[in-house]
Chains A and B, each alone.
Chain A
Amino acid sequence: MAGADYIIKRTFFAIATIFVAVTLNFVLFRAVPGNAVTSLRCQFCTKQFKDALSKQLGLNKSKWAQYGIYLDNLAHGDLGSSYSDHNPVLQDLETPLKNTGLMVTLGTLFSVILGILSGVFASWRRGTLTDRFNLITSLAFYSMPTQWLGMLMVFYVAAWFGLPVAGIQTPDLGVLGPVSFWTLWSNRFEHMLLPALTLGLVLYGEYTLIVRSAMLETLGEDYILTARAKGLKNWRIVWTHALRNAMLPIVTLIALSFGSIVGGAILVEDVFSYPGIGFAVIQAIDRRDYPVLQGAFLLLTVSVIVSNFIADLLYFKLDPRVTT
C-alpha cells in the first residue's frame, strides 16, 4: 500500500536525520580545541587528577571509542554535565525548555490567528487598496530583524501598556510569602506577552502571505462559483468553502516553519531576558559552557526534526494522495 510505504519512508528518514544530527553534534564539538579536562579551571588540580579525570571521561581513548561512549550516554539520556554548575545538562535545560514551550505556543497562536484573519481578508479583497496595504504591512513585518522588532516593542509598546520587559516574573514575587496560583500565572503571562507578541508579529507577515496565496488558489475553483451561484453568504463561502480547502498547504507550511520559530525564540529571549532555552544558549556561549550548548543544540535540532516529521504525517492525513 502506497500510504504505509510513505509513512515508513518518512519515519526512516526522520530517524536517519536524528542520527546525523547526533553525529554532527559530536563532530562539531570535538573540532574545538580543548576538552572538558583542559578547560577545567582549578588551581590545585594535579596532573594525576587530570589524567584520572580524562580516563574517567574516556578522553584518552580513540575518537571512535569516544563516539561510542557518547552514543551510549545519549541513549541513557546523559548529555554530560554543565561546566559552570556541574548539574546534568538535561536537568539544567528542563525548566528553560518548558518556559520556551509556553512562550512559543502563545506566539504561534498570535501569528496563526492574525495571519489567517489578515490573509483571508486580503484574498477576499484582492486587488483593492486594502489588499495592497495589507500586503505591504505583512511584507514589512516579514523583513524586520526579529531582535530589532523586539527592541522596538520594549521601547515603544511596553511603556504604553505598562508591560514588563524582562524576566519571567517579577523578581520579588513570592519572596514575602507564598503567592496564589492565579497571581503567579497572571504575572508570568504578563511577562510572556511581549516576547510572544514579537515572535507572533515576525511570523504573522509570513503566514499572511501563505494564507493569501493559498486562498487565492481555492477562490478561483469552480466549487466557489457554485457556492456563490447557490446564493450563499460571503462569509460562508470564504470560511467554510474556501478556507477549509486552503487549510492543507497552510497547516503543513505552518508546521514546517517550526525551525524558524525556534530561531526566532532564541533572539526574542535574548532581548527580553526571558529564561528559556535561547537564553540558556546565550549564557552557555558567554560562559563557554560547551556541554550545555551541545545539549541545547541537540534538543532544538531533534525537536525541529520531529515537528517536520509530524508535518509530513499531517500532510498525508490531510491529503492521502501524496506518496513520495
Chain B
Amino acid sequence: MSEAAVPAPPAPVVNAPRRRRHSFVRDVLFGERQAVVGTIVIVFFTLVAVLAPHIAPYSVTQQTCAPYAGLSGKHLLGCDDGGIDMFSELMWGARVSLIVGFAAAVVAMVIGGGVGVVSGFFGGRTDIVLMRITDYFLVIPDIPLMIVFAALFGRHLLNIIIIIAIIYWTSTARLIRAQVKSLRERVFVKRSRALGASNTRLIFKHVLPQVTPLLIANTVLMVAIAMFAETYVAFLGLGDPTQLSWGLLISNAFQGGAMFRHAWWAIVTPGLCVTIVILACTIVGQSMEDAMNPRLKVGHLSVKRFGLRPIPTMRPAPGRWREE
C-alpha cells in the first residue's frame, strides 16, 4: 500500500508489553482513514449478514415478482431469473460468503500458524521437512487444484471451506515461521529458557502472544482471498448449489442469461458486494500488517510488500527467503 499512508511503525512492537500491543492494534484500526473506512464496511456487511433473516424484505425461496423484473419501489434492486428479490438475495448471500471467507481464513490461519510456529521454533529437521511441504504447496497453481479437489470431493459447503484452507495456508506458515525464528533468538525467550521454562510454556507464553497480531492481520487478508476463491468455485459450478452466496449469484446471473435480458442489476450487484468487501479486507489487513511487521518493508525480496493479496497471485518462489 501507499507508504505515505502508513505511519512510521511505533516503538519496537515486539518488545511491547501485552496491554500496549492491544492498544496498538486499535491505533492501527482507528488511526488511519482508509483502515477506518475498511473496518466500517466489514462491520456493516457482517451486521447485514447476521440480521438477514430479520431485515430481508422478501423471502429468497419464493417467487415474488416477474423474472428479471426491473428496479422499482417494491423491489429496490430488481429481481433475478427466478423472480426472487435481488436485495433480499444479496443480504442472504452475504451470510454464506462471509462464513466461507472467515471460516476458511481461520482454518488456514490455524494450519499455517501451527506449522509456522512449530517450524520456526524447533528448527532443524522439523523445519526442513515442514518447509519442504510448504514449498510444494506454494508452487501448485491454486485454481486448478481447487477445481480438482472440488470435483473429486463433492460440493458441500464444509468441503469448500476445507479446500480453500488447504490451498491457502502456506503464506501464513512462511510469514509466521520467519517471525518465530527471530523471536526465538531474543533475549527474553532465552532467559526464560534458562530459567527452566518448557517448550510448551515458551510457545504459549512468549512466542504466540508476539505473533498473534500478525496472525490476525494475515487472517483479515486471507478472508479476502477465501471470498475470491468462493466466487471462483461457485462460478465453475463446483459450489454448493443449495447455499445462496454472492459467488452463486454471479454464477446464476451468468447461467440465467441476465446478460441477454439486459438485467444489469442481477450482474452488477453481487460482484460489487464482493469487490467492496474484498477491498475493505485488503486495506484493513494490509494496514495492520504494514504497521505490525516493519520487516516487510525491508528488501526486494518481501513479496508481500509488492503484492497486496499474498498467495493466490504472488506465489513467492520457494526458498527465496529461507535465510530470514
Contacts and interface: CB of A to CB of B under 8 A. Distances in A.
Partners in one complex: yes
Contact of B231 (A131, A147, A271, A311): A147
B152 interface: yes
B323 interface: yes
A237 interface: no
Q: Is the interface of A mostly helix, strand, loop or mixed?
A: helix
Nearest to A147: B235
A116 interface: no
A21 B313 CA distance: 19
Interface in A151-189: 151-152, 154-155
A143 B224 contact: yes
Interface string A1-28: 0000000011001000100110010001
Contact of B279 (A131, A139, A214): A139
B140 A282 contact: no
B316 interface: yes
Given A145-B228, A209-B306, A324-B319, A151 B236 contact: no
A296 interface: yes
Contacts of A217: 300
A193 interface: no
A304 B139 contact: yes
A282 B140 CA distance: 19
A256 interface: yes
B323 A324 contact: yes
B313 A13 contact: no
Nearest to A259: B141
Interface in B139-158: 139-145, 147-149, 151-152
Nearest to A25: B148
Interface residues of B, number: 63
A182 B232 CA distance: 36
A109 interface: no
B313 A206 contact: yes
Q: Is the interface of B mostly helix, strand, loop or mixed?
A: helix
Contacts, number: 187
Report the contact-size class of chain A (Cβ under 8 Å from the partner).
35 or more
Given A32-B152, A143-B279, A308-B315, A151 B271 contact: yes
B315 A139 contact: no
B140 A263 contact: no
B224 to A, nearest CB: 7
Contact of A151 (B267, B274, B276): B267
A213 interface: yes
Interface string A294-324: 0011001100110010011001000000001
A33 to B, nearest CB: 10
B148 A152 contact: no
Contact of A311 (B148, B236, B317, B323): B317
19 contacts: A10-B319, A17-B135, A131-B2, A143-B282, A145-B231, A145-B235, A145-B274, A147-B251, A148-B267, A148-B274, A154-B259, A206-B308, A213-B305, A253-B314, A260-B142, A263-B143, A285-B236, A286-B237, A297-B145
Given A9-B319, A148-B275, A257-B315, 4 more contacts: A143-B224, A217-B300, A267-B143, A267-B235
